[in-house]
Structure 1
Amino acid sequence: MNDSSLPLTCNDDGTWSLNCLGMLCPVPVIKTGRAIRLVPIGDLLTVVADDPGVELDLQDWCSANRQEMVGCQIESGVFTTRIRRSR
């Protein structure tokens, strides 16, 4: 998969969004890894996913890749995870 196939958008406020709805592990983590390389250092990436394991998976991914997980919220089975690109 090339980076142009990522469901990644830059929002008007300068944050980035990655839509991983309907994707199961490990796809959201793989796409997050690809997307974070396109996000400028210091910017926020919001990952939206409905895989029940995504919160823990992204916590582990952030720790292993030295990125900052700013927070994760769940509403109606949808996880919204904010990651700040640290490096």
Structure 2
Amino acid sequence: MDLFDISDRIREARKARGLTQEELAERAGLSRVRLNQLENGAVFDMKFGSVMSVLEALDLTLRIGTANAGRPTLDDLQREQEEDSAPGL
């Protein structure tokens, strides 16, 4: 998950809760302009605490786990494709 995924989820959650950007920004202690930048993935210097404030205002959490846990790597996918295209017996 990257900043763009988080931005999309924040926007979706805000809309699902029927909140305007102004209302969510106020709850999170940010300006509406800053929240708009976050929702559009146009901000790369936002403090982690600010992002967490937005998530908390939406009753969302951020879970940290092992990278690629259970997901195939590019090498796995390429190996699978090679196996699928190998001539059969």
Shorter-chain TM range is: under 0.3
Tell me the TM-score normalised to structure 2 length: 0.27
Of Structure 1 and Structure 2, the greater strand share is in 1
Of Structure 1 and Structure 2, the greater helix share is in 2
Tell me the TM-score normalised to structure 1 length: 0.28
